[in-house]
Structure formats: C-alpha cells, structure tokens
C-alpha cells in the first residue's frame, strides 16, 4: 500500500500515516492539494489529510478539497500534537520563527508571551520549517520532536502549543467506501439551496427521529454568494445501515444537494 501525505519527512501527517498503517510505503508531497490529486489520479492508494484541530477548529481548505475532488473518506486518525521549538543555536539568536499556519496559530499565545512581536513566517509544513531552520541560527521552527532529530536541530522548548491538550484529526482518503465494521462514522455535506424557516431543523430532525447521533455539524461558505452555506455533518453509523439510508433518502428530498463524503471506522 502507498500512502500520500504532506512532506517532507517529519510532519505530523507522517505520524498519522504510521498510526493508520505502519507497513505502508509513504510518498511525500509539497501540499495537501497535491496529496488529494495523487489519490484522484491513482498515483497513491490513499492519502492522509488533516481536517480538524482541537484548538483551532476545522481546516477549511482541506474540507473544501473533499468536495472539489472525487474522493471518499475511508478512515480517520486522531494524533496528539506536541509542538517543539527547534533551532541550530540558542533562543537569544532567534530572529524569526517558521512553521505551518496551523502550528503558528496553535502556539500564538506562547510565542507572544516568550518572544513578543517576533517575525513569524508561514511554511507549507512543520517539517519544511525545520529543514529551513537548519540553514541558519537566526531561524527557529515549530515542529515535532522527530523533526529535530531528522534535521539536526536542538529542542529549545517543548509543549509550545497554547494548551497542553492538543489533537489533530486526520482523514484517510481513497476512491471507495470500506465495508461496515459496526463502529463507523459517516460524513456528509448538505446544501439547502433555498433558505427558509426551519430548513436546517427539518434536516436535523431526520437524524433525531431515527436516533442517529451527530458528532459534528459545521457550516462552510459555498463561495458563490454571501450567506450561502454548505453544512458538513458527521454522524454515527455506516451509509449501508438501514436507518442511515432512511435518513439520507429523506434529506435528499428536502435539500438542494446531498453528498456522502465517506463511511469509515471511528478512530480508536
């Protein structure tokens, strides 16, 4: 099996990929969109994509990619995130801090308290930030402990994230939906098309009346008009379960669009 993921080596996506399948061959890409395209083009069997963080919420552009491309969620992995400050030199030498935008956001308060208004530079991944930081003592990276060993950096600070409890949810994307396991989740996206009183209430009622538990509901702009939204919904159960099928058929009659993003085993 070949898994596509954000590179270079040492990213938290790599940790998620190893947690999902330790035996898989890993193939690294420069961006998440490249990972998704590789799945679509069947250059890899599956891709590993971060979509939600416990501190900063959903990663909008990655959620949007699930709609833009013909892929299915086939699994999920939850990874504890512990950010470290890595550098070649000492704290007193640092003039800029590099990392992925999500990592910078997750450590914003800690950076402010320790470094004031130091320059923060966004990179496409935490591992790439570590690689760049290895080129100069004036640069530091927020990245994983593994990245320190990989790129020959010192760990100056540990647990730099704003709160100690920090988790990122990754989804494994492929071309097909796996068979039910009895411990599954289903992800869908719904477009109401015509906003009317009670429209969303009616859709949610289809789940409530069938005793289907929703684990997440989030709105995202369609990017077509102001106030025009898609609703991303995660629910317990598999798309092949009878009561889930019943709810989706009822919603399909009421909504302008319904798309099943995937049914997959819940993360352990």
Distance of CA 235 to the CA centre of its chain: 17
Domain 184-265 top-level CATH class: alpha beta
* CATH number for the domain formed by residue range(s) 84-157: 3.40.190.10
Active-site annotation holds for 186: no
Non-local (6+) Cβ contacts of 226 within 8 A are none
- Angstrom distance (rounded) from CA 217 to CA 264: 17
Written as tens digits, the pLDDT of the chain (268 aa) is 999 999 999 999 999 999 999 899 999 999 999 999 999 999 999 999 999 999 888 888 888 888 889 999 999 999 999 999 999 999 999 999 999 999 999 999 999 999 998 999 999 999 999 999 999 999 999 999 999 999 999 999 999 998 888 999 999 999 999 999 999 999 999 988 666 667 788 889 999 999 999 999 998 887 777 767 889 999 999 999 999 999 999 999 888 889 999 999 999 7
Q: Is the preceding omega at residue 111 within 30 degrees of 0, hence cis? A: no
Of 11, 124, 126, 168, catalytic: 168
Active-site annotation holds for 11: no
Kindly report, as residue ranges, where domains of CATH 3.30.70.260 are found in the chain.
Answer: 184-265
Q: Is 187 left (phi over 0), alpha (psi -120 to 50) or beta?
A: beta
Is residue 166 within 8 Å of 80, Cβ to Cβ?
A: yes
Does CATH place domain 2-80+166-174 in 3.40.190.10? yes
Of 12, 29, 170, 207, catalytic: 170
* Helix 199-208 × helix 242-254 angle, to 10°: 170
């Amino acid at each position: 099996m070949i898994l596509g993921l954000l590179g270079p080596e040492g990213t938290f996506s790599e940790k998620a990929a190893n947690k999902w399948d330790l035996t898989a061959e890993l193939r690294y890409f420069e961006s998440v969109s490249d990972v998704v395209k590789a799945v679509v083009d069947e250059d890899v069997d599956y891709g590993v994509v971060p979509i939600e963080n416990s501190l900063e919420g959903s990663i909008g552009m990655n959620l949007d990619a699930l709609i833009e491309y013909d892929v299915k969620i086939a699994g999920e992995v939850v990874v504890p995130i512990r950010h470290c400050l890595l550098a070649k030199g000492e704290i007193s030498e640092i003039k800029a801090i590099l990392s992925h935008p999500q990592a910078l956001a997750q450590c914003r308060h800690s950076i402010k308290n320790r470094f004031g208004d130091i320059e923060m530079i966004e990179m496409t991944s935490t591992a790439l930030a570590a690689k760049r930081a290895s080129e100069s003592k004036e640069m530091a990276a927020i990245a994983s402990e593994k990245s320190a060993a990989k790129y020959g950096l010192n760990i100056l600070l540990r647990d730099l994230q704003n709160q100690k409890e920090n988790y990122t949810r990754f989804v494994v994307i492929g071309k097909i939906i796996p068979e039910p396991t009895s411990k599954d989740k289903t992800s869908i996206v719904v477009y109401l098309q015509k906003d009317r009183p009670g429209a969303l209430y009616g859709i949610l009622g289809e789940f409530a009346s069938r005793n289907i538990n929703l684990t997440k509901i989030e709105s995202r702009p369609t990017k077509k008009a102001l106030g025009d939204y898609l609703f991303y919904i995660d629910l317990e159960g598999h798309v092949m379960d009878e009561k889930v099928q019943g709810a989706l058929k009822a919603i399909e009659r009421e909504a302008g669009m319904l798309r099943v993003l995937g049914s997959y085993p819940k993360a352990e």
